[in-house]
Structure 1
Amino acid sequence: MTEVLNDAIADYEHKQFWQEVNERVEQVQRENPEGWTGYLTEREMILGSAPRTRRIASEWEGLITIPEEKNETHPR
């Protein structure tokens, strides 16, 4: 029983943490759009630009379909 409660508390704390992070990000975007743009520019300089497509390892090709690539002929 204690383990179940500990897991529930940890899950709750995890969700609370990310909820607060998301709220703070939205606040910065609203209140300081220039600062947010500067952050994104600096992040891109450090990490590089985001890939235009999602890539998967070759051994997974054909086994999974990326959500935006789904169609009627490939239901997964």
Structure 2
Amino acid sequence: MTAVIDDAVAEYEHKKFWEEMRAAVERTRREDPEGWADHLAETAAFDRAAPDGLEPEDWSSYLPPKEDDADNPR
């Protein structure tokens, strides 16, 4: 029984973490577009510097749709 409760709590904490993360990312995109642009530029610089030869990954599906893009959910 304890394992079931532990699993449920862990799942809840995991979901809560990602909900808060998505909200923070969206808040930054909305309230600090310059800071968001800086973040994207820095991320792109690291992606280009990776010597693994892999194409950059698309993480956009983890972000909520932009307000003007509500008809095109990710």
- TM-score scaled by structure 2? 0.64
> Is 1:35 matched with 2:35?
yes
Query: Runs in 1 of length 4+ with deviation above 4 angstroms?
Result: none
Query: How many residues of Structure 1 are paired with residues of Structure 2 in the alignment?
Result: 53
CA-atom RMSD in angstroms: 2.2
1:29-68 to structure 2, matched below 5 A, reads 29-48=29-48, 51=55
> What are the ranges of 5 or more consecutive residues in structure 2 without an aligned counterpart?
58-74
Structure of higher CA gyration radius? 1
Contact 2:29 2:36 in 1 (8 A): yes
Q: What residue in structure 2 maps to residue 24 of structure 1?
A: 24
With CA pairs under 8 Å and 6+ residues apart, which has the higher RCO, 1 or 2?
A: 2
Paired AA for residue 13 in structure 1: E
Q: Distance in 2 between matches of 1:21 and 1:52?
A: 21
Moved more, 17-26 or 43-52: 43-52
Q: Distance in 1 between matches of 2:56 and 2:3?
A: 43
